[in-house]
Structure 1
């Protein structure tokens, strides 16, 4: 499916869901749930210089990518992201004496599965983290910041945590995808209940703020002023509450923030 076809289908979906909510609510909810559980899979070719390996998780094999030698840096993508997004940054890190490891989390990039919940991504990250050498720095993008912060592994990490355009509240973020439609409230409450029943996690509890409050390491946020997906206004209270250094860029947006040169200025 082309990007244009995918965008057209996304625009048409709310209309279909609105109609189904009135006549076939069960079918409507199934489509709604599928939309929230299915990230876009993007696969881009890697350089032959990158070492590719796999890590076993409860949700299938996670594909990982290693480049460079030296102090360890982990790179964790967000929803509908992939490890290849970090390739330009990985090259810069290698030039400065770092070993960079990026991942394709389950249902993303070249890794297995088509559907996944955010709590399941957290468990997959925990599983992958247990089989790798501890990093000095973790850089996480978008919902990837919530994945790292809500993991068991994060509770014992005391290095440097860099959040790039973090989505502070993944529950609120997913709820907002259809916020302008009447079916959204009922469907999302059911969706959150399904996560609680299946993953035994209260989705609304996955805000980054709580785990960040007890984090003993150093935290930085790099965020673009023009970010539409994760508005800067949602990050400001987090930075102020936890006294986190907030570094801003302009005109890069949510995805291109990973191209910022400011990452290299805050690494040890």
Structure 2
């Protein structure tokens, strides 16, 4: 959904929420078709804002064909492959620093921009589309040694059933392990018409045969069994640190808690690089 809603976590004003609710419900009543179109644009359009990030020397860009359109991939280094997946309104450029670290360790870092994100095609973004593209990127790999994912990208990885993931280590960065609960509660707090939201979600569910209710990253993590490390900041305002704490009760999951890094800065942090090194050392 749009970062205007998804990343709007503050309580805000009750009056504002009330006006949004009244306006969107009235729109839906008077012009339902147009209201659904507007809702799709708002709920499914990520922020493609360009990030001024230095591109690593030797980075290879390659556009691949998928059922979701042309997807841009970014490859750095030589050796066994780690796949990197970004979150909502993110892009592969967020991983450039980490990709350099991975390449320096003797591995290939392969990142990709999800549909409607970064330099990939697509007008709308949503988790079923993320999972589909992720699986198709994996289809093009002979093998991988592990996966790194940030935010909603963590839900994407855990929801995938791809055979290449079986038993592979996963490094989750600020994951949204309570994806469905987080999404629904955020829309409710915004005041947006839940009827309109449910119609948009229902259309996606029908198209992809993927119901919102079936999405449960935390439950999927329980059955992954590959070594998993979560790096999460205690003060993260966008992804629940509490759910990461719950996950570390699983035998194969370890939590590295940070402070003062938030939801985004953590991607360029020393603790994240240390977490990667710790996973590599176990292989």
In which range does the TM-score fall when normalised by the shorter chain? 0.7 to 0.9
Q: 1:20 deviation in Å?
A: 3.4
Deviations 1:134-183 (A, max 9, x none): 22121000010111111121675222101000011322222233322554
| TM-score, length basis structure 1 | 0.87
1:19 paired with 2:34, answer no
Deviations 1:62-114 (A, max 9, x none): 11111112232111101111000000111112222221111111111000012
| 5+ long unaligned stretches in structure 2 | none
**Distance in 1 between the 2:98 and 2:245 partners?**
25
Say which SS state the counterpart of residue 279 (structure 2) adopts. Answer: coil
Say which SS state the counterpart of residue 222 (structure 1) adopts. Answer: strand
**Distance in 1 between the 2:67 and 2:122 partners?**
11
Deviations 1:112-147 (A, max 9, x none): 012122111111111111002422121000010111
Question: Which structure is higher in RCO with an 8 Å CA cutoff and minimum separation 6?
Answer: 2
Asked if the contact 2:169/2:226 (under 8 Å) is kept, the reply is yes
Give the total of aligned pairs.
262
1:201 paired with 2:210, answer yes
**Distance in 2 between the 1:182 and 1:72 partners?**
43
| TM-score, length basis structure 2 | 0.83
Asked if the contact 1:155/1:215 (under 8 Å) is kept, the reply is no
Question: Which residue number in structure 1 is paired with residue 279 of structure 2?
Answer: 267
1:37 paired with 2:44, answer yes
What is the CA RMSD across the aligned residues, in angstroms? Answer: 2.7
Question: Which residue number in structure 1 is paired with residue 134 of structure 2?
Answer: 125
Matches within 5 A, 1:191-230: 191-230=200-239
Asked if the contact 2:177/2:216 (under 8 Å) is kept, the reply is yes
Q: 1:188 to 1:263 in 2, by over 3 A?
A: same
**Distance in 1 between the 2:248 and 2:49 partners?**
31
Asked if the contact 2:266/2:272 (under 8 Å) is kept, the reply is no
